């Protein structure tokens, strides 16, 4: 059983995303919308990180030294090639003086994904 599970696991990010897209499609329109919103959200996060790093005149190499995260990984995150783990993203945000804040979008049950964005620490 364990071996079969490992054989079905995606070996690359693209394989993983294709499998996730197929499962979302099989789950219906709501699942597809949720996956699109998630991808859009992560894309904005990488763009915000790149914009803030550039505003500070900071290179990817310097951010890598500051955070301990490989420069190539920072590049892939900023270009939306990979989606970082939350802990990785938090380290990168802190490296450019940002923090992470979760805001309620509306009252009641969750009908839409929550908005999470990098914000300047102290705001």
Domain ranges of the chain: 2-120
pLDDT 10s digits, 22-79: 888 998 888 888 888 877 776 788 888 999 999 999 999 999 999 999 999 999 999 8
In the chain, % of residues over pLDDT 90: 32
- According to CATH, what is the number of the domain 2-120? 1.10.260.40
Quote the pLDDT of residue 91.
Answer: 94
- How far is the C-alpha of 121 from the C-alpha of 123, rounded, in Å? 6
């Amino acid at each position: 059983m364990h071996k079969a599970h490992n054989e079905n696991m995606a070996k690359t990010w693209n394989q993983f995303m294709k499998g996730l897209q197929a499962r979302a499609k099989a789950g219906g329109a709501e699942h597809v919308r949720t996956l699109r919103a998630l991808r859009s959200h992560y894309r904005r996060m990488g763009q915000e990180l790149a914009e803030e790093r550039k505003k500070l005149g900071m290179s990817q190499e310097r951010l890598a030294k500051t955070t301990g995260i490989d420069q190539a990984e920072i590049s892939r995150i900023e270009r939306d090639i990979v989606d970082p783990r939350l802990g990785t993203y938090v380290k990168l945000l802190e490296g450019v003086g940002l923090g992470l804040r979760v805001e309620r979008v509306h009252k009641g049950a969750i009908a839409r994904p929550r908005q999470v964005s990098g914000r300047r620490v102290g705001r």
